[in-house]
Amino acid sequence: MNYHIKDIALAAEGKRRIEWAERDMPVLRLVKERFDNEKPLKGKKMSACLHITAETANLARTLQAGGADLALCASNPLSTQNDVAASLVKDFSIPVYAITGEDHETYYQHIRAAIEHQPVITMDDGADLVSNIHSDYPHMSDSILGSMEETTTGVIRLRAMAKDGALKFPVIAVNDAMTKNLFDNRYGTGQSTVDGIIRATDILLAGKNVVIAGYGWCGKGFGMRCRGMGANVIVTEVDPIRALEAAMDGFRVMPMMDAAPVGDLFCTMTGDIHVIRPEHVRVMKDGAIMANSGHFNVEIDIDGLKKLAKSGPKEVRHLVDEYILADGRRVYLLADGRLINLAAAEGHPASVMDMSFATQALATEWVVKQPQRLQVGVHNVPAEIEDWVSRLKLKSMNIGIDELTEEQKKYLASWEMGT
């Protein structure tokens, strides 16, 4: 078996972490049990480009239980957990191409290795795998039954490809499933972004002015958690509805130019480019900290920061780079502007990835079970999968809900009854 990982000797620790995460993934465990019996993915070659974490390992084991012949590569150069990668290779015989801190060239070599596995199904987190197949392996497009996409930025890229007529195979917007973004993007990113910032810096959030760029699902989750820890939260937005929502949730809303001199900690989570630029950094306080939790490391203009600074980057603590401005003020950039929750912490907790990855596994099965290949385009996850995942998650949490009575069903379907 081919693979490229940091060190196979790390496998024992990785296995312990994979098993620990599995305890908190009851819905995925049920999918795995059924897949093991029914083998819906039997003989199907799959390549997945995901953050190589303990939770992803449990998704990989589920797909393997379903009969898939799977290869994995990283969807971010900093997010790989080397011990998990080692265990996937040693204990579960899954080829992995991922090493924490890999350079740009190695990152793309790993993506190519996953593509050369000759998948008929792909899974992506940010659409790097799909876009590489389109640009460098276009002959493979016809044989691909479908690709699952995990994150907002990936879905945006895929919809742009579909709009331009460039998309060559069907993709499923798993990110857009409510069982994914309502929980993973909000509660997962919310908690793990706080976790990443604290692990990287050890700062106290209470009393700090925390500036959040973007009040989407991720921004809402992070905002609610920062407030819970005593921070004064400021939101910057470009969408008037989201801005209103933030204001009515009780946060201060202002343009980045006004927030820049006030903030102690800045975190971008927009999926956009150059949200924090040199003109903002120029007016920041001495000691201001910048981090990003959006998909790509383009939200903070790092080249602009380097040009603006008199000196830096100087690593003053693991994953904390200091830049000194002309007048001696210091600003700090965390994790080179990459996803802070995955670079400095462990990504989302297993309990929330349970829902995202059960949705991923079931969407994969749905793609394979179609009588004919789905039409080329971006498809939503079927409602019955979302219903199943949410009901089982509730059950695993011992939460019961009411059912509509016959009278209520009739009432809700009728238009005759009014005032």
Residues near ligand NAD, by CB under 6 A: 151-153, 181, 185, 189, 213-219, 236-239, 242, 269-272, 275, 293-295, 339, 341
Find the shortest distance in angstroms from Cβ 91 to ligand NAD: 26
Q: Give the CB-nearest residue to ligand NAD.
A: 216
What is the Cα 296 distance to its own chain's centre? 10
Q: Which is nearer to ligand NAD, 90 or 180 (CB)?
A: 180
Find the shortest distance in angstroms from Cβ 223 to ligand NAD: 11
- Going by DSSP bridges, is the β-strand pair 320-324/330-334 parallel, antiparallel, or unpaired? antiparallel
Q: Which is nearer to ligand NAD, 87 or 236 (CB)?
A: 236
Find the shortest distance in angstroms from Cβ 240 to ligand NAD: 9
Find the shortest distance in angstroms from Cβ 380 to ligand NAD: 16
Look up residue 230 and give its DSSP letter.
T
Longest dimension (CA), the chain: 73
Return d(Cα 385, Cα 389) in angstroms, integer. 6
Return d(Cα 385, Cα 362) in angstroms, integer. 7
User: Are the beta carbons of 193 and 222 closer than 8 angstroms?
Assistant: yes
* Three-state DSSP state, 17: helix
As given in the structure block, the two tokens for residue 289 are: 């900290």
Q: Which is nearer to ligand NAD, 14 or 214 (CB)?
A: 214
User: Are the beta carbons of 197 and 265 closer than 8 angstroms?
Assistant: yes
Q: Which is nearer to ligand NAD, 345 or 361 (CB)?
A: 345
Q: Which is nearer to ligand NAD, 17 or 295 (CB)?
A: 295
Q: Which is nearer to ligand NAD, 94 or 339 (CB)?
A: 339
Q: Which is nearer to ligand NAD, 169 or 217 (CB)?
A: 217
Tell the residue number behind the tokens 């910057």, with chain if given.
236
| Rg (alpha carbons) of the chain, rounded to whole number | 22
Amino acid at 277: R
Find the shortest distance in angstroms from Cβ 347 to ligand NAD: 6
Find the shortest distance in angstroms from Cβ 76 to ligand NAD: 9
Phi-psi region of 383 (alpha: psi -120 to 50; beta: other; left: phi over 0): alpha
Find the shortest distance in angstroms from Cβ 348 to ligand NAD: 6
As given in the structure block, the two tokens for residue 208 are: 């700090």
